[in-house]
Amino acid sequence: MSDQTAVKPPLEFTPPGSGLASMQLRDAWHLLPWVIAIAFYFVADGFHSFGTNVLIMILFTLSLDLALGYAGIITLGHAAFFGIGAYTAGIVAVHMTTDPIAGLIVATILAGILGILTGMLILHTQGVAMFMLTLAIASMFYEVANQWRSLTGGDDGLTVPRSAPLLAYFGFAGFRFDFRGMTGYLYTLSVVFVWFVIAWRIVKSPFGRSLDGIRQNPRRMRAIGTPVWWRLVAMYGISAAMAGTAGALQAQATRLVGLTSLELQLSGIVAVMLVLGGERRLYGAFLGAAFFMAVQDWAAAVNPVYWMFVIGGLLMAVVLFLEGGLMGLLDKIFGMFAGKRVENGQASPVEAKAGDAK
Partner 1 sequence: MGKMRATLTALALTFSISHASAEVIKIGMIANFSGPFAVWGQQFRQSMEAFQKVNGKSIDGNEVQLIFRDNGGADPAKARQLAEELILREKINFLTGFDLTPSALAVADLITEAKMPTVIFNAATSVITRKSPYFVRTSQTVQQYVEPLPEWAVKEAGIKTSYTLVSDYAPGHDAEEIFVKKFEQAGGKMLGKDRIPLNVTDFAPYVERAAATGTASIYIFIPAGAPSISLVREFAKRGLKAKGVKLLAGGETQEVYLPSIGDDVIGTISSLHYTETNTNPENIALRKTLVEMFGPDATPDIGTVGAWDGMRLIYDGIKQFGPKITGDQFMGFVKGRKWNSPRGPIMIDPEERDIIQQIYMRRVEKRDGKLVNIDFFTTGMIKDPWKVANPNAK
128/113 Cα distance (integer angstroms): 24
Single out the residue of 74, 101, 168, 256 in contact with partner 1 (rule: CB under 8 A).
256
The residue range among 28-36, 114-122, 129-137, 254-262 that interacts with partner 1, by the rule CB under 8 A, is 254-262
Single out the residue of 163, 239, 254, 267 in contact with partner 1 (rule: CB under 8 A).
254
Single out the residue of 21, 43, 224, 305 in contact with partner 1 (rule: CB under 8 A).
305
Q: Is there binding between residue 42 and partner 1 (CB under 8 A)? A: no
255/161 Cα distance (integer angstroms): 6
Tell me which residues in 122-161 interact with partner 1 (CB under 8 A): 146, 149, 154-157, 159
Strand partners, 129: none
54/185 Cα distance (integer angstroms): 10
Residue with smaller CB distance to partner 1, 5 or 146: 146
User: Pattern of binders to partner 1 over 53-92, x per CB under 8 A?
Assistant: x---------------------------------------
Cβ atoms of 357 and 308 within 8 Å: the answer is: no
DSSP-assigned letters across all residues of 220-288: HHHHTT--HHHHHHHHHHHHHHHHHHHHHHHHHHHSEE-GGGG-HHHHHHHHHHHHHH-TT-SHHHHHH
130/295 Cα distance (integer angstroms): 32
Residue with smaller CB distance to partner 1, 90 or 284: 90
Single out the residue of 103, 115, 258, 284 in contact with partner 1 (rule: CB under 8 A).
258
Q: Which residues bind partner 1 (CB under 8 A)?
A: 46-47, 49-50, 53, 146, 149, 154-157, 159, 162, 179-181, 250, 254-261, 300-301, 304-305, 307-308
